[in-house]
Amino acid sequence: MLQFRMTPCLLSLLFVVPLLSSIMAAAEHAGCKIRITDKGLDMLKYETQKFVEEELTNISMPEMRGKDGRFQYTITDVKITELNLTHAELQFIPNIGLLFDVQNSSISLSFHRRILYWFFYDTGNINASAEGVNINTALNLIRDDEGRLKINNITCDAKITKMRAEFSGTLGRVYDFLASFLTSGMRFLLNQRICPALNHAALVHVNSLLETIPVRSEVDSYIGIDYSLINDPVVTSRSLDMHFRGMFFDLSNQNDTLVNYAVDPVIREYDRMVYLALSEFFFDSGMFSYYKAGVFQMHIVNEKMPKDLEMLLRTTYFGAIMMINPALVEAPISLQLAVNSPPKTTIKTSGATVVMTAIVKVMLLPPGRPPVQLSSMTMETKFNAKVSMKGKRLAVHADLRRFKIFSNQSALESLAVSVVVFHLIICNVVFLTTEVRKRPTVNHNTPQGEPVFLSDLSLSLSNIMSVCLSVDSSAGSSKDHVADVCGSFNQQLDQERSSDPSGRWDGLH
């Protein structure tokens, strides 16, 4: 009886566990989202057309032999000499992928003939032209198991309406009447070769190229980034949206990552060619990884400490030093700063801010003896962050807007240390601009920025790209405000473009 009751429970668990797993997998949010609009397809159409032309030019045609009564022929060395894909279009297919459509185009060919008719033998070249070339190719785009973009399937339909041939050689005019006989076979053979060539090019060549694109790479010697796709591309009649994980990780412990609770990036516009939307998680995971890697800490002592600031610290803590041990008056004094929790990013319609807290310690370093702590204080800092595109690179410019230092001992101590820290910030020596300045996502000292994974997408043209930040609804803002954030960035993009007399633009500054 007990076994009879347990069986339905076990069966229920067998169904519930996979269901919960699928729900958890589907609930993963993206840290980064890229939208390519129908306007962006104009840029991709040229590359697609060029690729198709190269593949069709390399089509290999077999030797053709035939006999009809007294007439025998052999055709060899078939070469496509010119393609004129003038009427080509690239467009989205909702829920599927991309459609490359060629209508009423032409192909020029040349091949060698050998003809035997009764006792007459003739040889020469034939120039042929295929007209009314129609090629309809649909690509189904998916995410593979490793998070890369992949062409899952290709549907192709090719048709050549008619073909003409011009003979050369001794009996060229005599055999003009045989042109329709030869070109019919050539047209049939060419029809059979176009789609297999495009299928092989897409499923083998293009997919092989996509497999070489890394989905996890090192940013620097401390952290890496995971920009794998988390689901299949979302295709509508107007756009193709790709959702990337957009997660940074500590290279020394790649499994210790931040959980994404941020709102999913939202893009509501279609005016530009490309949109890039970043959530709070994108920035938080980066700073979380730097924090775990131990980057947000520094030790200012000896030559790193300006003499006037060292004197200010010695004056402030002179009494404390005398109470501890008068012999330590001449010992080196140091300032230690260390972030004590991962920094937090907040994105609102007014912009993005980064808040972090750090422990500031004033230490004496007597030679040959353990360090002596004179004071420990808490510092709170707030930065305004500005996201920009530098050519093909994503960069974040951080400006210090506020910092506070709290001391449990005296206001004078807080004031003195605040002066020291503020001076160090102005001198660009504090941890955020010193220890991280070689990393391209923090400060204006690193104008290079971080490479975006659109490796061959040039962003130096006007009216191409907009950078949007997704507003966190938990902070009192709704997703409807995302369009306002995008709009403010777009205005800044337009202002910077209009201020560049050269007509070339490499992103926000």
At 342 the pLDDT is: 93
d(CA 1, CA 16): 24
Written as one letter, the residue type at 322 is M
In a domain, 16, yes or no: no
* Token pair in block for residue 294: 């131990």
At 375 the pLDDT is: 83
Question: Do strands 71-84 and 88-93 pair parallel, antiparallel, or not at all (unpaired)?
Answer: unpaired
Average the pLDDT over 261-287 and give the result.
89
Q: Which of 70-79, 284-293, 377-386, 482-491 has the highest mean pLDDT?
A: 284-293
Kindly report, residue by residue over 113-149, the tens digit of the pLDDT.
787 777 777 777 888 888 899 999 999 999 999 999 9
The residue ranking higher by pLDDT, 41 or 460, is: 41
Inter-axis angle of helices 41-57 and 179-200, to 10 degrees?
120
Low-confidence winner among 80-89, 129-138, 163-172, 453-462 (lowest mean pLDDT): 453-462
In a domain, 506, yes or no: no
Low-confidence winner among 106-110, 363-367, 368-372, 388-392 (lowest mean pLDDT): 388-392
At 412 the pLDDT is: 54
At 473 the pLDDT is: 41
From start to end of 325-392, where are the E strands? 333-339, 344-348, 351-364, 372-390
d(CA 461, CA 502): 11
Average the pLDDT over 80-92 and give the result.
89
* Token pair in block for residue 183: 């070109």
Name the β-bridge partners of 224.
218, 249
Write out the H or E segment, with its range, that includes residue 51.
helix 41-57
Do 205 and 225 share a domain, yes or no? Answer: no
Last residue of a domain, one of 211, 241, 270: 211
Low-confidence winner among 139-143, 149-153, 449-453, 497-501 (lowest mean pLDDT): 449-453
Do 405 and 391 share a domain, yes or no? Answer: yes
Is residue 347 within 8 Å of residue 305, measured between CB atoms? Answer: no
Q: How many helices (H) and strands (E) does the chain have?
A: 10, 21
At 245 the pLDDT is: 93
Do 137 and 277 share a domain, yes or no? Answer: no
In a domain, 507, yes or no: no
> What's the maximum distance between 2 C-alpha atoms anywhere in the chain?
123
Length of the chain: 509
Average the pLDDT over 216-241 and give the result.
93
Using alpha carbons, select from 290, 220, 217 the residue that is nearest to residue 258: 290
d(CA 60, CA 134): 20
The residue ranking higher by pLDDT, 334 or 489, is: 334
Inter-axis angle of helices 307-316 and 411-426, to 10 degrees?
170
Is residue 169 within 8 Å of residue 124, measured between CB atoms? Answer: yes
Is residue 254 within 8 Å of residue 40, measured between CB atoms? Answer: no
In a domain, 21, yes or no: no
Kindly report, residue by residue over 10-61, the tens digit of the pLDDT.
334 344 444 444 444 456 899 999 999 988 888 888 888 888 888 888 888 8
d(CA 409, CA 239): 60
The whole-model pTM stands at 0.73
In a domain, 476, yes or no: yes
At 174 the pLDDT is: 57
Do 180 and 229 share a domain, yes or no? Answer: no
d(CA 497, CA 503): 7
Do 130 and 242 share a domain, yes or no? Answer: no
Average the pLDDT over 305-334 and give the result.
84
Name the β-bridge partners of 33.
243, 277
Kindly report, residue by residue over 39-53, the tens digit of the pLDDT.
888 888 888 888 888
- Tally of structural domains, the chain: 2
Do 267 and 310 share a domain, yes or no? Answer: yes
* Token pair in block for residue 72: 């025998």
* Token pair in block for residue 426: 């102005």
d(CA 137, CA 202): 10
Do 303 and 443 share a domain, yes or no? Answer: yes
* Token pair in block for residue 153: 């399937």
- pLDDT above 50 (res 275): yes
In a domain, 10, yes or no: no
Do 189 and 207 share a domain, yes or no? Answer: yes
- pLDDT above 70 (res 470): no
d(CA 420, CA 81): 74
Average the pLDDT over 303-321 and give the result.
82
Structural domain range at position 443: 217-498
Written as one letter, the residue type at 41 is L
Last residue of a domain, one of 211, 237, 270: 211
Close Cβ partners of 104 (under 8 Å, ≥ 6 residues apart) = 87, 132, 133, 134
* Token pair in block for residue 361: 């310690």
Name the β-bridge partners of 68.
71
At 486 the pLDDT is: 45
Do 303 and 433 share a domain, yes or no? Answer: yes
In a domain, 193, yes or no: yes
Owner of token pair 């941020």: 262
Average the pLDDT over 284-307 and give the result.
88
- pLDDT above 80 (res 467): no
Do 191 and 49 share a domain, yes or no? Answer: yes
Owner of token pair 């996201």: 387
Is residue 382 within 8 Å of residue 404, measured between CB atoms? Answer: no
Average the pLDDT over 295-320 and give the result.
83
CATH of the domain at 173: 3.15.10.10
Close Cβ partners of 330 (under 8 Å, ≥ 6 residues apart) = none
> Residue 262 class from Cβ within 10 Å (0-12 exposed, 13-18 middle, 19+ buried)?
buried
Do 273 and 406 share a domain, yes or no? Answer: yes
Name the β-bridge partners of 491.
none
Name the β-bridge partners of 276.
34, 467
Q: Burial code of 339-376, b = ≥16 C-beta within 10 A, e = fewer?
A: beebbebbbbbeebbbebebebbbbbbeeeeeebebbe
User: How much is the mean pLDDT over the chain?
Assistant: 75
Close Cβ partners of 127 (under 8 Å, ≥ 6 residues apart) = 108, 109, 110, 165, 166, 168
Question: Do strands 97-117 and 149-167 pair parallel, antiparallel, or not at all (unpaired)?
Answer: unpaired
At 250 the pLDDT is: 94
Kindly report, residue by residue over 141-172, the tens digit of the pLDDT.
999 999 999 999 999 999 988 888 776 555 55
Average the pLDDT over 289-315 and give the result.
85
d(CA 398, CA 393): 16
In a domain, 11, yes or no: no
CATH of the domain at 275: 3.15.20.10
Low-confidence winner among 74-88, 93-107, 220-234, 237-251 (lowest mean pLDDT): 74-88
Do 185 and 265 share a domain, yes or no? Answer: no
Last residue of a domain, one of 153, 182, 211: 211
Owner of token pair 């003939």: 113
Owner of token pair 């035997």: 116
* Token pair in block for residue 345: 């990013």
